Structure 1
């Protein structure tokens, strides 16, 4: 049933993929390898996903480059060289373009095509996928590789249309760049993206006003350049690294400290924390003490350690009071890496505004007005994040059996089966969707490659059986949702409002969007489902 007859129209496919980022490119490679007729649709004019759209000043990956890559080709691993430990956006984008060219993936990609809808036809057991321009495509399978952080949020402040200057969102940055020299610039948001923008443009702008709602913990990035000796070492270690990242908590090459925090003497704890801090990576967060996620007292002790490190770098105690987090524990929100971010606030041309104390009221013709005063601006930057996990999927009109709307369904309760499929939507697969580690707690390439491989194997299994549909049962989905919530509620993370819990989107059902049971445990459960012949999935 899966073979496309020769007389079929050119817009009929075995599989349609949406999104040409890390998972979409790899999914295309794998499904094409099976012999399927595949078409990938991308809204941009080139590949890259996150690294195509997020080209704001200072955009940089915070996973080490030697694990932030594909593992499927030894030749690719041997030929590509990373320039530094944490590459900037342009280098990651070049890498993904190299992959697309090296494996001739562009031949099956249609660019400048934003998908508007995907509707399942029960009578034919096929999907009709429609673009915003009105083109329709017929497909057996649909794989949504739209990303977990790709639906930007622009706060609904009054007066956008009145502003005489320039307004940008970091998630839709212009390719031609922006000239900040001597200008009055405002940045709203101090999450991971805001931090990167602020630390990068502060020395260039005439005056920088930072509008902060929630102060964040951040770890100083240590980012050495790589040379020939480093590349030789990585290439020898790649087989071990490939195996290692599949079993750790967050898909990195490091994991939690083996010795429990409470079994250590105070001086030993402090020594370990100092070593982690000096490493200049996310190991301080997801390679330190697991108790940071589960034990409130331990979390508070580690939080105090980090607060003291931050405070020591800020000259003005009143400014430090605004920048040092006290309303949540370290690691219960996204922890970014930074490069002299806190020192930015020691500059004479930088001003910090606490928008909890001064509520933003409107954008005016000449700037931004709070409840206290008006701030004159030439450029306004929204570093206000994304509708994480769900937004990119619900921005497409996805309708399954009986015309069931995914957007309406998720407005009541977000649910998936392992973040891979959704009951009621046969032959629809997802990557980086809610209820899987990839949604937040994973080195992205590690989890996306694992999910793509699982999807690829599932489709191959169904084709070998001569089946026409693959769909998780309602019981399977309920079991996974229950398990997900039980694991989440064993941690401190759901108690902290953040994009992890959907708290940044008004009306979004509150829940931890990402599976926090660990990458290794998740992978094992996926493998067990596969080994069982996909128990819990109706393959008919």
Structure 2
């Protein structure tokens, strides 16, 4: 290991994605001596690592950016309705350079361990480069979806072809003319397969749990549309901060039952044509995620669309979910259509499971070997706590974060934990279930208010901020109660509850009422002088 250099600073931010960039900016803006460490070679966070073909935000372009830089909101180019991974990465690095943040960032640098020193009231952070930071405040912004999850499949090490996880996409790989298999059909798998289907020799989707997907409506944005958005940004964000999901969609207050039955299909057809999964979910019916009958009618409509689009009944049946529309809303740019191609097939793992991976490909339970040159895992993430498994964090009295989370990750408001003073999280467990680009802003703003309040009360200059244990426990109970009102609570193998990783205890990882409810709670907490903290 290189010789260690020790830096005494006010705050260390870990991660330079959407959250880490803004937190670093906010601390710099307010006069703090701040540094940011990032394990990638540049800023971007998950948008650096997730470079797979077709990677795209499912939040529309006009909102998948920072609200606090109004000049960039109105002038930075985004030609299409949705931004792709290269565009997002370029935007984030533009913001870093515009606000002169790069000099505060240390790339190719990962936090290895962090220890709270109760005598000095500081965190001692050691990085894999040998750098040591002594920081009054430690803010993690490592991403809720940043640690790849590989399924435990027999024979995985015997495969003689190329194994790839979408979260670690290799530079320069050419799939043209190759036989490719994909395991996983969530948002990542849908985007990937839609993008690569025209270039590969053969594509096989090994699908265990199909999900409902609606069109994204990806298309160019005209100059007139952009001009109208630019002129209306104040009202757009006023609506966002007063919404649950924060996706710029006017969220309906009418249940499906309030519409005549003959009108509902027309509404669904209009939403399908308009595109966007969150608009489909939220803008006309307010009970798709809470009412079983409403959900079943939604599923029926999408399943009928699959039958209309996919010509081969066998493929169509494999693509149709048998459960409720109760997982992460997906949207696509022609996913179902690719299964009309002669070079694209699907294996229904509910009927014919994978028996083992063999040197030449995958053998299914019917004895057939599906020969592959490349096997791609689009199997998602070890959500929320996965990013923290890369490091060791010791709080008060040497308590390990892994012990604190032994029954599943918990927090207060998604940003703090009892027993871990002066440690704050961006996009931690039990934060608001909402558009990630808005969540990181409101959480960082709350953290700044909390720090400033504590410092204004300090006489000695020493500041120790810690969530009360009873506050964290009460917040967990609130999140559990809110989750039970949603049919998402019964979702099979959902990363939202950590159950996509075998052996994990189910735990609610979001505050389901979303942005508006969280902002109301944190405003009250702020106005009362942060009574949930010591």
Same fold (TM over 0.5): yes
- Are the counterparts in 2 of residues 419 and 433 from structure 1 also a CA contact under 8 Å? yes
User: CA–CA distance in 2 between the matches of 1:217 and 1:60?
Assistant: 18
**Equivalent residue for 2:105, pick from 105, 109, 118:** 109
**Structure 1 residue 428 corresponds to structure 2 residue 423:** yes
User: CA–CA distance in 2 between the matches of 1:118 and 1:356?
Assistant: 44
After the TM superposition, which residues 377-526 of structure 1 pair with which residues of structure 2 at under 5 Å, given as runs? 377-437=372-432, 441-466=433-458, 468-497=463-492, 498-526=494-522
**Structure 1 residue 320 corresponds to structure 2 residue 312:** no
- Cα deviation, residue 10, structure 1: 5.3
**Structure 1 residue 35 corresponds to structure 2 residue 27:** no
User: CA–CA distance in 2 between the matches of 1:356 and 1:46?
Assistant: 41
Per-residue CA deviation, residues 487-539 of structure 1 (Å, 9 max, x unaligned), is 1111111111211111111222202311111211111111111111111111x
SS at match of 2:403: helix
**Structure 1 residue 171 corresponds to structure 2 residue 167:** yes
Normalised TM-score (structure 1): 0.94
- Are the counterparts in 1 of residues 6 and 134 from structure 2 also a CA contact under 8 Å? no
**Equivalent residue for 2:196, pick from 178, 197, 201:** 201
What is the aligned partner in structure 1 of residue 344 from structure 2? 350
Question: What are the ranges of 5 or more consecutive residues in structure 1 without an aligned counterpart?
Answer: 1-8
What is the aligned partner in structure 1 of residue 294 from structure 2? 298
**Structure 1 residue 366 corresponds to structure 2 residue 388:** no
- Are the counterparts in 1 of residues 355 and 364 from structure 2 also a CA contact under 8 Å? yes
- Cα deviation, residue 454, structure 1: 0.7
- Are the counterparts in 1 of residues 315 and 345 from structure 2 also a CA contact under 8 Å? no
After the TM superposition, which residues 79-228 of structure 1 pair with which residues of structure 2 at under 5 Å, given as runs? 79-174=75-170, 176-228=171-223
Per-residue CA deviation, residues 257-290 of structure 1 (Å, 9 max, x unaligned), is 2323222211232232222222101210133322
What is the aligned partner in structure 2 of residue 6 from structure 1? none
Per-residue CA deviation, residues 272-315 of structure 1 (Å, 9 max, x unaligned), is 22222221012101333221111111211122112111221111
- Are the counterparts in 2 of residues 389 and 513 from structure 1 also a CA contact under 8 Å? yes
User: CA–CA distance in 1 between the matches of 2:123 and 2:387?
Assistant: 19
After the TM superposition, which residues 19-98 of structure 1 pair with which residues of structure 2 at under 5 Å, given as runs? 19-98=15-94
- Are the counterparts in 1 of residues 254 and 286 from structure 2 also a CA contact under 8 Å? no
SS at match of 1:415: coil
User: CA–CA distance in 1 between the matches of 2:153 and 2:520?
Assistant: 45
Moved more, 264-273 or 217-226: 264-273
- Cα deviation, residue 227, structure 1: 3.2
Moved more, 386-395 or 472-481: 386-395
User: CA–CA distance in 2 between the matches of 1:315 and 1:301?
Assistant: 23
What is the aligned partner in structure 2 of residue 252 from structure 1? 247
User: CA–CA distance in 2 between the matches of 1:446 and 1:201?
Assistant: 31
User: CA–CA distance in 1 between the matches of 2:74 and 2:204?
Assistant: 45
Query: CA distance change for structure 1 residues 32 and 178 in 2, over 3 Å: closer, same or farther?
Result: same
- Cα deviation, residue 35, structure 1: 1.1
- Cα deviation, residue 461, structure 1: 1.6
- Cα deviation, residue 384, structure 1: 0.5
Per-residue CA deviation, residues 56-102 of structure 1 (Å, 9 max, x unaligned), is 00001111110111111222223212111111111111111110110
User: CA–CA distance in 2 between the matches of 1:274 and 1:519?
Assistant: 28
- Are the counterparts in 2 of residues 249 and 286 from structure 1 also a CA contact under 8 Å? no
- Cα deviation, residue 122, structure 1: 1.7
**Equivalent residue for 1:334, pick from 315, 328, 353:** 328
Moved more, 231-240 or 40-49: 231-240
- Cα deviation, residue 179, structure 1: 0.4
User: CA–CA distance in 1 between the matches of 2:283 and 2:415?
Assistant: 27
SS at match of 1:537: coil
- Are the counterparts in 1 of residues 210 and 319 from structure 2 also a CA contact under 8 Å? yes
Moved more, 100-109 or 230-239: 230-239
User: CA–CA distance in 1 between the matches of 2:252 and 2:513?
Assistant: 17
- Cα deviation, residue 161, structure 1: 3.5
- Are the counterparts in 1 of residues 252 and 282 from structure 2 also a CA contact under 8 Å? no
- Cα deviation, residue 44, structure 1: 0.3
- Are the counterparts in 2 of residues 81 and 231 from structure 1 also a CA contact under 8 Å? no
- Are the counterparts in 1 of residues 6 and 132 from structure 2 also a CA contact under 8 Å? no
Per-residue CA deviation, residues 377-429 of structure 1 (Å, 9 max, x unaligned), is 11111100001122112332111112111123213132100101011101110
SS at match of 2:59: coil
- Cα deviation, residue 164, structure 1: 2.3
After the TM superposition, which residues 232-251 of structure 1 pair with which residues of structure 2 at under 5 Å, given as runs? 232-251=227-246
Per-residue CA deviation, residues 303-343 of structure 1 (Å, 9 max, x unaligned), is 2112111221111112211110112x11x101211111111
User: CA–CA distance in 2 between the matches of 1:251 and 1:14?
Assistant: 32
SS at match of 1:306: helix
SS at match of 1:62: strand
- Are the counterparts in 2 of residues 210 and 352 from structure 1 also a CA contact under 8 Å? yes
What is the aligned partner in structure 2 of residue 5 from structure 1? none
- Are the counterparts in 1 of residues 254 and 284 from structure 2 also a CA contact under 8 Å? no
What is the aligned partner in structure 1 of residue 370 from structure 2? 375
Normalised TM-score (structure 2): 0.95
User: CA–CA distance in 1 between the matches of 2:38 and 2:374?
Assistant: 29
- Are the counterparts in 1 of residues 184 and 206 from structure 2 also a CA contact under 8 Å? yes
User: CA–CA distance in 1 between the matches of 2:123 and 2:379?
Assistant: 34
Number of aligned residue pairs: 524
User: CA–CA distance in 2 between the matches of 1:203 and 1:162?
Assistant: 28
What is the aligned partner in structure 2 of residue 278 from structure 1? 273
What is the aligned partner in structure 1 of residue 225 from structure 2? 230
Question: What are the ranges of 5 or more consecutive residues in structure 2 without an aligned counterpart?
Answer: none
